[in-house]
Structure 1
């Protein structure tokens, strides 16, 4: 079992299936909860689950490490938790999954800007092909309908940029922190501001259990435990074991899972989904890292 969890392709598959299903789970949760309630509850729930590990881990960290862990958490575990449900009030779950495929491109951009990390030409080519596949899906999807307004779609792009910064900083500044302790510390830290946000939504004061809430609560619980806490733990482990670029390439496979769930839920499907999906798979093949130690661009 340990060998399977340490296999980067197995980790990539598990994360893909889990996060690829997150978009439809968010959609189903929005039936009973507001975007801010969903974001807050995901972080708070994960924080409570992992606090037993997170609190001791925080006290063992140096001040410098704690600052970087907090930064990592903001960009990867706090901000996107709110951006996705807000966007999905107008953007379909399958389209949200498609737009999330832009993450690897942001990883390469911020990797070079922040740390001077150069990518191989094959990785750049893979990112371009994957992006073109995602772009074709977006162009030929229902992006021009009333439920997919541009401003809300851009929130998904912003979340992708946030994940890009997150992935690069994890690899360059928190690589020596154990993945379990890193994940636990992050959610423990950001559970506090999330609790404040949840309070101001009125959820704590006004929530009433109703029969129609049972199903959305189940979706949100699954999303919190598996799609947030466990999946993020595996994601951080994958980054530390491989690279930010390889780990972020999970975003090229997410649209396939998201689209499948969208079809099951009655969302639009065309030939362009197949074409775009094939291009995305080609991109993930090319973007895989061949060198263990990427060269750094000289600083002047």
Structure 2
């Protein structure tokens, strides 16, 4: 079993199934919780659970390392947890899953502009094709039926960019930490502001356990434990053992899982989902790494 968790394709598959299911879980949780409650609970509970590992890890970190851990946590463990539920108030779980597959394209772009990682012409072409696919999805799907929904869809795109920056910071700035210490540290660090946000939502004063909220709490618990804490641990391990571009290749399978859940839940599935999703996947295929970039695997 331990050998399985060292296999990069096994990790990619587990992450795709877990994160691909997170969009429908967010949708079900939004029935009884606000987006800010969902985001804050996911981060705060994960941080509290992992604090016994996170506090010692933070204490032994040099200040510079702690800075980059905080930056990585903001982009990968904090802001997306709020962006997705805010967006999914207006955007279907299927569309959210497809748009989230833009992560490898953002890795390519941010890697070039912020970390000097050069790309091949085919990879640049892949990025362009991927963004054309995303644009067709946003402009021709239900995300553009009302003016306000366009901006909610853009929050999903922003979250994808945030995940990409997270992957690059981890690989380029803090490659020496173990995946366990890194996961525990980032959640412990960002648990504090999350608890503050949770307090101001009024959940502690106004919480009332109704059948509707009880069911939503079950979805939120699964989302927090498996879709947040455990999934991020596996993702960080994958980034450190491979490259940010390979780790983000989970985006090949993630939208398929998200769409299947959406269709089973009665969501509309249109031609634009197929066209836009296909263009994004073609773009991801073109930017894949045939050979490992030596710059990205130095320890």
Query: TM-score scaled by structure 2?
Result: 0.92
Match of 1:57 in 2: 57
CA RMSD of aligned residues (A): 2.0
Per the normalisation by structure 1, the TM-score is: 0.91
Report how many residues are paired: 296
The CA deviation at 1:282 is 4.2
Q: Name the SS of the counterpart of 1:231 in structure 2.
A: helix
In structure 2, how many angstroms separate the alpha carbons of the residues matched to 1:140 and 1:7?
A: 39
What does 1:237-276 correspond to in 2, within 5 Å? 237-276=237-276
| Matching residue of 1:97 | 97
Equivalences for residues 212-227 of structure 1 within 5 A: 212-227=212-227
Contact 2:95–2:273 (8 Å) recurs in 1 = no
Unaligned runs of at least 5 residues, structure 1: none
Deviation at 1:137, TM superposition (A): 4.0
Single out whichever of 206-215 and 276-285 deviates more from structure 2.
Answer: 276-285
Mean alpha-carbon deviation: is it higher for 134-143 or for 12-21?
A: 134-143
Equivalences for residues 1-300 of structure 1 within 5 A = 1-146=1-146, 149-294=149-294
**2:118 aligned counterpart, secondary structure:** coil
Q: Measure, in 1, the Cα distance between the counterparts of 2:209 and 2:271.
A: 43
Of 184-193 and 254-263, deviating more is 254-263
Deviation (angstroms), 1:281: 4.4
**Structure 1 CA distance for aligned equivalents of residues 158 and 284 of structure 2:** 21
Confirm or deny: 8 A CA contact 2:102 2:280 kept in the other structure.
Answer: no
Deviation at 1:188, TM superposition (A): 0.5
Residue pair 2:108, 2:287 contacting (<8 A) in 1 also:
no
Once the two structures are superposed, residues 48-94 of structure 1 have per-residue CA deviations (whole angstroms, 9 ceiling, x without a partner) of 22112111111121111111101100111001111111111111111
In 2, Cα distance between the equivalents of 1:220 and 1:138? 27
**Cα distance, 1:133 vs structure 2:** 4.1
Stretches of structure 2 that go unaligned for 5 or more consecutive residues are none
Q: Structure 2 vs 1, CA of residues 41 and 68 (structure 1 numbering), >3 Å: closer, same or farther?
A: same
State the secondary structure of the residue aligned to 1:268: coil
Indicate conservation of the 8 Å contact 1:183/1:236, yes or no.
yes
CA contact (8 A) 2:126 2:284 kept: yes
Q: After the TM superposition, which of the residue ranges 270-279 and 71-80 deviates more from structure 2?
A: 270-279
3-state SS, counterpart of residue 33 of structure 1: coil
Shift in Å, 1:210: 1.3
1:100 touches 1:156 (CA, 8 Å); kept in 2? yes
